[in-house]
Amino acid sequence: MDTDVILFLALLAFALAIAGATAFVIFWPLTLIHIRDRHPRLGEQLGPGAFLRPAALLWLLRGGYRETPDPNLSALATPARISEVVILTGLALGGVLWVVGKALG
């Protein structure tokens, strides 16, 4: 495969990560506001500044919101989780493809 094609695919993977980030900054704050308003104990568990707190992001990634029987929380947290997975996947694929492209070129 040509180096330019590999680097183009890496660029597309990074674009995918950016699209995931866009969805993440929409759904994750809405999820946190819902948690603050409806589930104060869970909010205390996630702690202040949960938006970029590693423990809160890991809680979201593992699907910890499913332990709370609230369909509205699940409806907000599921797209946030999917977008977090898309961000991580896009960054990982883009990084690998970029390294491969640089190694071949």
DSSP 64: G
| CA gap 103, 105 in Å, rounded | 6
Element (H, E) at 93: helix 71-104
Residue 1's pLDDT is 72
CA distances from 1 to 4, 36, 95, 99 (A): 9, 50, 17, 14
Using CA atoms, how far residue 4 sits from 15, 24, 96, 103, in Å, is 16, 30, 14, 12
pLDDT tens track, the chain, 105 positions: 788 899 999 999 999 999 999 999 999 999 999 999 999 999 999 999 999 999 999 999 999 999 999 999 999 999 999 999 999 999 999 999 999 998 987
List the chain domain ranges: 3-104
